[in-house]
Amino acid sequence: MDKLCGETVTLYHPDAAHRRVMRRVVRGVYWQQGRRALPDAGGTRQGTALLVQAGRDTGLPTVTEITDPAQLDTLADVDVLQVGARNMQNFALLQALGQVRKPVLLKRGMSATVTELLQAAEYILAGGNERVILCERGIRTFETDSRATLDIAAIPVLKKLTHLPVIVDPSHAAGRAELVAPLALAAVAAGADGLMVEVHDRPACALSDGAQALSCDQFDRLAGQVRELLPHACR
């Protein structure tokens, strides 16, 4: 769907059969850690416009990452604002998001404890914005066979300590596509309220995070497995 910062991107699959199993939220990141260069403000506006249009075309809500309070106006038409792991303790950003009346998806920092994640959420809640979604995305440990270590125990712990919804990002924890489904199913079994899974119609051609992206067919199979598991998951 056109070009975004020099890349050809597919924001939703053109085939109806694949659209039915796509996530309930279209996620588009206008800037992502690991890029060779940062897009300028014009690129940010262009990427946001493409994401918003994709949401309108599919009828799905949209979410994108915010890294600075100055971006709030540019991202005004996005449905959910994501705070990435590297900005979990960007307190000026968290306080600004407390004044926004739209959901905020707060990712756990790679070296943060559960308590520190909840303390970060309090900065948003204290401003009056109670629409906070917590996200476990893996933490840094001594393990090197995966990109990060998914903290499954954090799911029931967070569910006990807070009323906020808890979702899990198995893709960033895994770093490898073959690990995504097992981690996703473990998260669902542990009581996660949702999953954040990277999907690409041609993962081998992806210019970012292709190694951890599922194909549409792989995601279809995972969605079916999740539906079978849900009646037995912890609640």
The CATH number of the domain holding residue 91 is 3.20.20.70
pLDDT at 235 (0 to 100): 78
CB-CB neighbours of 228 under 10 Å: 10
What is the predicted pLDDT for the residue at 43?
A: 66
Reported as a single tens digit per residue, the pLDDT across 24-78 is 556 654 444 344 455 455 567 888 898 999 889 888 889 999 999 999 999 999 9
Residue 13 lies in a domain: no
Q: How many structural domains compose the chain?
A: 1
Q: pTM (2 decimals)? A: 0.85
pLDDT at 1 over 80: no
The answer to whether residue 12 sits within a structural domain is: no
94 within a domain of the structure (yes/no): yes
Domain containing residue 123: 3-7+22-28+41-138+148-230
Cα–Cα distance, 182 to 15 (Å, whole number): 26
Domain assignment of residue 17, yes or no: no
CA torsion, ordered 159, 122, 75, 155, to nearest 10 deg? -20
Residue 165, in any domain of the structure? yes
33 in a structural domain: no
Residues 98-136 pLDDT 10s? 999 999 999 999 999 999 999 999 999 999 999 999 999
- Give the C-alpha separation, 71 to 48, whole Å: 11
Question: Per DSSP, what are the bridge partners of residue 63?
Answer: 27, 80
Residues 230, 209: Cα–Cα separation, whole Å: 28
Q: Is residue 34 part of a domain?
A: no
Q: Where are any strands of DSSP class E within the chain?
A: 3-4, 7-8, 26-27, 62-65, 80-83, 104-107, 132-136, 166-168, 194-195
Does 45 map to a domain? yes
